[in-house]
Amino acid sequence: MSHIETEIPYDVEYLDSLFLDACLTERSLPPAIVKRKLASWPEYANTWTAYNSAAFSVKPPRASPRDITRYEFAIDIGLKYANETQRRLIWAVNHSAILRNGYKRERGANWEKLAKIRGKISPRALKRLYMDALVTMAYRIKVNQIGTTFAGGVSSS
């Protein structure tokens, strides 16, 4: 167990924000395949009034080293304390809570869209599965930190 795992009080809200920040970091990382430079000029209007006619869009900042460390930490925790279906659900929910331009949606995750993708499940049931996955993960982390099982009280160390 790393020093980060022992110092942080794990609860559902912390894990939710950790995975949301990890998804934001994933969106702000540079692309894996760099697009090649074009050998021609882009199309532009040929009048004086068309100067700087392209709309300016604010881009999210690049990921900092601290963000990348937290991203790797979220991946490690997900691999260690969640099964595959829980991991897929957690990442899908948090990716749906981010807009294409890399900022958070004000309304949170798009539960209806995720329910349609998942098939034959209501958005409320999907949200309950997501919360159950986070609670299970928090419980497993607590058990690993303390070194006991709550059912029998037997110490594993």
pLDDT digits (tens, 9 = 90+) for 63-87: 999 999 999 999 999 999 999 999 9
Q: Which residues pair with 148 in a beta bridge?
A: 155
Q: What's the pLDDT at 59? A: 72
> For residue 28, is pLDDT > 80?
yes
Among candidate residues 74, 64, 67, the one with its CA nearest the CA of residue 8: 74
Any domain includes 150: no
Predicted local distance difference test score (pLDDT) of residue 34: 75
Return the pLDDT at 157: 43
CA-based nearest residue to 103, from 21, 18, 13: 21
Whether 131 maps to a domain, the answer reads yes
Q: Report yes or no on 1 lying in a domain.
A: no
Report the number of secondary-structure helices (H) and strands (E) in the chain. 6, 0
Domains contained in the chain, number:
1
From residue 90, give the alpha-carbon distance in Å to each of 66, 125, 141, 148.
22, 14, 16, 26
| pTM of this structure | 0.76
Q: Is the pLDDT of residue 29 over 60?
A: yes
Q: DSSP readout, 51-118?
A: TT-SPP-PPPPPPPHHHHHHHHHHHHHHHHHS-HHHHHHHHHHHHHTB-TTS-B-TT-S-HHHHHHHH
* Position 55 in a domain: no
What is the residue range of 15's domain? 8-28+61-142
pLDDT value of residue 101: 72
Residue 154 has pLDDT above 60, yes or no: no
Question: Domain for residue 94, yes or no?
Answer: yes
Closest CA to 100 of 28, 36, 42, 148: 28
Euclidean distance between CA atoms 8 and 5, whole angstroms: 6
- Residue 156's pLDDT band (boundaries 50, 70, 90)? very low
- Chain centre to alpha carbon of residue 35: 25
Does a structural domain hold residue 16? Answer: yes
Cα–Cα nearest to 93, from 38, 12, 155: 12
Q: Higher pLDDT residue, 33 or 42?
A: 33
User: pLDDT over 90 for what percent of the chain?
Assistant: 50
pLDDT of residue 54: 59
pLDDT at 47: 65
- pLDDT band at residue 58 using 50, 70 and 90 as cut-offs: low
| Residue 115 maps to a domain | yes
Q: Classify residue 72: in a domain, yes or no.
A: yes
